[in-house]
Structure 1
Amino acid sequence: MKEVTVEELKSKIDNNEDFQLIDVRETFEYEVSNLGGLNIPLSGILIEVDKISKDKPVIMQCRSGKRSAQAVMILEQQGFDNLANLSGGILAWKAEIDPELDVY
């Protein structure tokens, strides 16, 4: 499974690269804090699969990287080959990029 660090993600955002960020946390978690990605909770990932791009890089993100890794595995079984997991999730983003970010 391909992984992306929070530093690599920040660089992609800063450089306005064309990619899609999917946050697979539950909606209440997303509402506490998010990185601007599309919120598709892991439990609904197959229901909302049509919202996930197949023609540009997609980075899956959650709180720590575990649920997003599950999402990558599920979607790869559906034929996706453009996915990466955000290593460490939003907790790593807080630790490395934005210490002011609210996390639970």
Structure 2
Amino acid sequence: MNAITPAQLNDWLQQNTGSSTPVVLDVREPWELQTASVTPDGFELVAMPMRSVPERFAELDRDQPIACLCHHGARSAQVLQFLEGQGFTRVVNIHGGIHAWSQERDPGVPVY
């Protein structure tokens, strides 16, 4: 399984710039997004709660690089495995989730 930390996101974005804008796929619940969210910077932010991914994954472009994000990294790792099983090949997990994002990338993102 491919994984990056929030601190490695800029390098990943640079490696994946091309014909399509990379996506950060936030698979947390709506209440979590209201509590803490990331600001798109060099990527498109797509909110798709984990439970809705099996019915909504067709909304995603298989050729687009996707970095999955959740609270600590467990749900996003499951979504990564699911997407890989559906033929997505450019998917990574953001290890540590939004909690690590707050510590490594943007301290303005609340920890919960």
| 1:57 aligns to 2:88 (yes or no) | no
The equivalent residue for 1:47 is 55
Of the three residues 21, 25, 30, the one matched with 2:24 is: 21
Runs of 4+ residues over 3 Å off in structure 1:
10-14
3-state SS of 2:62 partner: coil
Contact 2:73–2:97 at 8 Å: present in 1 too? Answer: yes
Contact 1:57–1:82 at 8 Å: present in 2 too? Answer: yes
3-state SS of 2:92 partner: strand
3-state SS of 1:22 partner: strand
Instruction: Name stretches of at least 5 consecutive residues in structure 1 with no aligned partner.
Output: none
Question: How well do the aligned residues superpose, as a CA RMSD in angstroms?
Answer: 2.1
3-state SS of 2:67 partner: strand
Residue 79 of structure 1 deviates from its aligned partner by 1.3
Between 87-96 and 3-12, report the one with greater CA deviation. 3-12
Residue 100 of structure 1 deviates from its aligned partner by 2.4
| 1:96 aligns to 2:99 (yes or no) | no
Residue 77 of structure 1 deviates from its aligned partner by 1.2
Q: How far apart in 1 are the matches of 2:96 and 2:32?
A: 16
Q: How far apart in 1 are the matches of 2:82 and 2:65?
A: 16
Q: How far apart in 2 are the matches of 1:66 and 1:8?
A: 18
Give % identity: 32
Residue 95 of structure 1 deviates from its aligned partner by 1.0
Instruction: Name stretches of at least 5 consecutive residues in structure 2 with no aligned partner.
Output: none
TM-score, length-normalised on structure 1?
Answer: 0.87
